[in-house]
């Protein structure tokens, strides 16, 4: 096959214990999937269920390193999240079959230009400028599911410069992992290579150049990102 331009590189994330890489198809994100975070953003989780948005696959920052402070924003927020990596997809996946689609898990940051997102929300516009900008999706190495246990009750937290800013538990997810995959597969055809950022606990806040973010989920390890 010939191409009229050089085809883009497939974005990838490393896999723990393997030299092979995980290729990324799409990046889905769940909005307001922890009640306390929904409330801190001014919403009532009892009246508004979580929802989905997407980031571009090439916004990934694989396995730690640097997050360049983005243009056009003065209020860039961290959102620490558990990422679900899929090895199987489909449409209308039943909750009972959802875990069969999971390849593994990773630590992710849903970096957000909160000021631009706020303008978009107010105007009833899409969120891409706030959410899907370059380097907005730092993601740690993927840990295969058979190496992870106790995730349903795992602490999830984020330290900035050594101070804990977000501190929650995966058991606080409004849509758990199975429900998230099942709901999402009703709206989109899921595929091998999809990543799902499952939502962030309360405590989101702004970073500045020079900050060091260290995110963790019990049983998965930690992800360190420098803001520069
Ligand atoms: Mn998020």
Q: How far is the CA of 29 from the centre of ligand 1 (A)?
A: 6
Q: How far is the CA of 52 from the centre of ligand 1 (A)?
A: 10
For residue 1, the model assigns a pLDDT of: 85
Q: 101-138 pLDDT, tens per residue?
A: 999 999 999 999 999 999 999 999 999 999 999 999 99
Domains identified in the chain and CATH numbers:
12-227 (3.90.850.10)
Q: How far is the CA of 196 from the centre of ligand 1 (A)?
A: 10
Q: How far is the CA of 100 from the centre of ligand 1 (A)?
A: 24
Q: 180-203 pLDDT, tens per residue?
A: 999 999 999 999 999 999 999 999
Asked if 158 and 166 touch (Cβ cutoff 8 Å), the reply is yes
Q: How far is the CA of 28 from the centre of ligand 1 (A)?
A: 10
For residue 74, the model assigns a pLDDT of: 98
| DSSP letter assigned to residue 171 | G
Q: How far is the CA of 95 from the centre of ligand 1 (A)?
A: 22
Buried b or exposed e, range 99-133, using 16+ CB within 10 angstroms: eebbbbbbbbbbbbbbbbbeebeeeeeebbbbbbb
Please report which confidence band the pLDDT of residue 18 belongs to, taking 50, 70 and 90 as the band edges: very high
Q: How far is the CA of 3 from the centre of ligand 1 (A)?
A: 36
């Amino acid at each position: 096959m010939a191409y009229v331009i050089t085809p883009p590189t497939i974005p990838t994330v490393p896999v723990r214990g393997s030299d092979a890489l995980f290729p990324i198809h799409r990046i889905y994100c769940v909005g307001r999937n922890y009640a306390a975070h929904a409330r801190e953003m001014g919403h009532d989780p009892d009246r508004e269920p979580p929802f989905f948005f997407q980031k571009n696959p090439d916004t990934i920052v694989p396995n730690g390193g640097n997050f360049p402070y983005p243009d056009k924003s003065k209020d860039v927020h961290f959102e620490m999240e558990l990422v679900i990596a899929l090895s199987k997809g489909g449409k209308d996946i039943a909750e009972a079959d959802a875990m069969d689609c999971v390849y593994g898990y990773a630590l992710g940051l849903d970096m957000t230009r909160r000021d631009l997102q706020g303008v978009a929300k107010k105007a009833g516009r899409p969120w891409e400028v706030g959410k899907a900008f370059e380097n907005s999706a730092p993601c740690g190495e993927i840990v295969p599911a058979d190496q992870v246990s106790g995730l349903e009750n795992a602490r999830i937290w984020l330290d900035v410069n050594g101070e804990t800013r977000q501190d929650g538990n995966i058991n606080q997810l409004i849509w758990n992992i199975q429900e998230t995959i099942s709901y999402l597969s009703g709206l989109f055809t899921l595929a091998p290579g999809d990543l799902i950022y499952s939502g962030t606990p309360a405590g989101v806040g702004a970073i500045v150049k020079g900050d060091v973010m260290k995110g963790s989920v019990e049983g998965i390890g930690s992800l360190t990102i420098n803001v520069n």
